[in-house]
A = this chain, B = another copy of it.
Amino acid sequence: MTLKKVVRKSLSEAVFDQLSEEIVHGNMEPGQRLPAERELCEALGVNRGACREALQRLAQAGLISIQHGGSTKVLDYRASGGLDLLGRLLFRPDGGFSIQVARSILEMRAALGPDIAALCARRAKPELKGQLREVVTALSAAGEDLNQRQLLGMRFWDLLARGSGNIAYQLANNTLRKTYEKIRHVLTELMRDELLDHKSHQAIAEAIFRGDDLSAKHVTRGLLEKGTSRMLQFLARFEKAQNKESKT
């Protein structure tokens, strides 16, 4: 039996979810006016405070623009949204996930990963190296437990991002991790090869231990490119099938 954490949603969060979903996947055009707060909260059956909290959050996410006295307008999320939108974009209303967004994430990962590893090799402090060693040890002990390997993989990348001394990488990694956590269970089998490639993970760690940035970058690139191309290949086939299906 696997127990799942009960999610309790506040009203403002429910409103936020509904509106952002409507903006991202619905039929709201950029520039379109949102109903006035008083109308909106009446239509949604919630008090104005909850409604305002949601609207403020939407504005922070770059999905709407609020102007005192004027009306609230929908923005083009592609031009003003932040990286945290990835999670919402990835999942489609029908329950599946967007292949285009998944590809985007994989490409970004492949572009950043090697540089993160290289910087980590150059800058990591002894304490972090120790933690990294523990993760590698745990990885070699995890055997073929793919779920466990995914969790350790996240920790692996968290450490690399931290060790890179690059705060932008750390923050981007935070966002990507949050997105990954939501989708990793459907990717488990697809990532099998990458997850089981213990040799690469070990080689990256060892390159970092000895401060060999070039080697760290090179091995990381190999690991990610192999995993990425494999997943992209699969996604492309999947996409084709999906298109064919949607044409019927």
Contacts and interface: CB of A to CB of B under 8 A. Distances in A.
A53 interface: yes
A101 interface: yes
A105 interface: yes
A52 interface: yes
B79 A107 contact: no
B12 A174 contact: no
A170 B60 contact: no
Interface of A: 8, 10, 12, 49, 52-53, 56-57, 60-62, 68, 78-86, 89, 100-101, 103-105, 107-108, 110-112, 115, 119, 158, 162, 165-172, 174-175
A172 B172 contact: yes
B171 A85 contact: yes
A224 B62 CA distance: 28
Q: Which 3 A-B pairs have the closest CB atoms?
A: A104-B168, A111-B115, A104-B166
A100 B167 contact: yes
A131 to B, nearest CB: 13
Nearest to A107: B166
Given A12-B56, A82-B83, A171-B86, A119 B107 contact: yes
* Main SS class of interface, A: helix
Contacts of A165: 100, 104
B52 A175 contact: no
A68 B12 CA distance: 13
B119 A167 contact: no
A230 to B, nearest CB: 19
19 contacts: A8-B68, A52-B53, A53-B53, A78-B171, A79-B158, A81-B171, A82-B174, A82-B175, A83-B83, A86-B167, A86-B168, A86-B171, A104-B165, A104-B167, A104-B168, A107-B115, A107-B168, A108-B169, A108-B172
B80 A82 contact: no
Contacts of A119: 107
A111 B86 CA distance: 20
